[in-house]
Structure 1
Amino acid sequence: MVDTARARKIADRIKEVIAANLTQVIKDPDLGFVTITDVRVTGDLQHASVFYTVFGDEAQHATTTELLASHLGRMRSLVGKQLGIRLTPTLEFLPDALPESATAIEDLLREAKEKDAQVAATRTGATYAGDADPYKKPDSEDADGADA
């Protein structure tokens, strides 16, 4: 039986432990500005996926990814000591795709706004293709009923 509330609590605790102790465990000056964004633990509490973002360029992302991978055992040991549960979950550091997704959505919204502005600009001097009032109106004679 899966206890999702317990898994959420453990995930929150893992997030706090890693975020608070990341710079103490990895004492490398090349470690970028890392933010732990989310932790997801499986229902059996055997595996934890740790999502992170790095502030910087692609080289900083690559260096930080390598450092996190090389210190994975030390991070798991720290988490195990801090959690105090029988089995320490295995850790997996995954780069969070949220910033890239947010940037893509912002680009799409900006593009849509520009297209709306273009449509509004072309509409300002536009005239009707046919008559201004496309509906047929009855003739004055038909309206009086004189043709009957």
Structure 2
Amino acid sequence: MNGSRRERIQGEIKKIISDILQREIKDPSVGFVTVTSVELSGDLRHAKVFVSIFDDKEKQAESLHALEKATGFVRSELGKRIRLRHVPELVFKFDESIEHGDHINKLLKQLHENEDEDKDER
């Protein structure tokens, strides 16, 4: 399969699922979820949907569980909106990269503050 075709389909799936989560899912336990990326298998039959959830760990777990329960609905809505021979099986995964980046930014900020304090003491 052509890599650029798969990338286009991944982008389209990301956009559609984002729209479904924003407009169609009424479950309040889903919370504020952002689809960060989609990884399709080579045969387009399986998709990992990476999501970022802005909340504490407990709410993140609750939101991910609610997404897993809504997988069938999301997949059927995806099937109505995209033209593929087979609608991929969806697996929602928590994307820790944003949290990791935020943690690194906090550490760097703290480091710079400590450096500034050291300069002031001299």
TM-score band (shorter)?
Answer: 0.7 to 0.9
**8 Å CA contact retained: 1:50, 1:91:** yes
* SS of corresponding position for 2:44: coil
Give the letter aligned to residue 103 of structure 2.
Answer: A
Moved segments of 4+, more than 6 Å: none
**Mind listing any 5+ residue stretches in structure 2 that lack a counterpart?**
none
Q: CA deviation at 1:25?
A: 4.0
Aligned to 1:28: 27
Rg larger in structure: 1
Give the letter aligned to residue 47 of structure 2.
Answer: A
> Greater helix share, 1 or 2?
2
Percentage of matched positions with identical amino acids: 34
Q: CA deviation at 1:111?
A: 3.2
TM-score of the pair, normalised by structure 1? 0.72
Per mean C-alpha deviation after superposition, the further-off stretch among 105-114 and 43-52 is 105-114
Aligned Cα RMSD in Å? 1.9
**Mind listing any 5+ residue stretches in structure 1 that lack a counterpart?**
125-148
Aligned to 2:64: 65
* SS of corresponding position for 1:49: strand
| CA distance 1:111–1:84, change in 2 (3 Å) | same
Pairing 1:74–2:73 present? yes
TM-score of the pair, normalised by structure 2? 0.85
Q: CA deviation at 1:14?
A: 0.6
